[in-house]
Amino acid sequence: MKMEKLDKRIPQRTCVGCRESRDKSTFIRLALQDGRVVCDVDCKINGRGAYICPNTDCLNMALKKRSIGRAFKTGVHIDEDLLKREIESIEGKIRSGSFHGFHSH
């Protein structure tokens, strides 16, 4: 009897900014924490998530289109300055090589 390899598919997600679909591990997960949208780099916050490319251009597009709030299907508080600072920080770490990837489960 021949054992077949398990088909390990890589989960795909779509950026709420540019709408590009890629591997889940290439995005920053956004999640709700106490009604506020936060970056969930470790993917540990329970509940619905939204995904965004790790750059401020996609964040700006998502804010302009109001697609972050729609992704959560509820009224959310978005601290634009906080999200921009968090994404800029991650973007800088990626460029400098000090970012060691997203932890996706």
| CATH number of the CATH domain containing 53 | 3.30.1230.10
Q: How many domains does the chain have?
A: 1
pTM of the model: 0.83
pLDDT confidence of 8, banded at 50, 70, 90? confident
Q: Give domain status of residue 20, yes or no.
A: yes
What pLDDT does 1 receive?
A: 46
What pLDDT does 101 receive?
A: 63
Q: Average per-residue pLDDT in the chain?
A: 88
Q: Give domain status of residue 101, yes or no.
A: no
Q: Give domain status of residue 55, yes or no.
A: yes
Q: How far is CA 82 from CA 14, 19, 38, in A?
A: 22, 22, 8
CA dihedral of residues 67, 71, 76, 80 (deg, nearest 10): -40
Q: Give domain status of residue 2, yes or no.
A: no
What pLDDT does 99 receive?
A: 75
Q: Residue 30 in contact with residue 52, Cβ under 8 Å?
A: yes
For range 41-53, the mean pLDDT: 93
Q: Give domain status of residue 103, yes or no.
A: no
Residue 3 has pLDDT above 60, yes or no: no
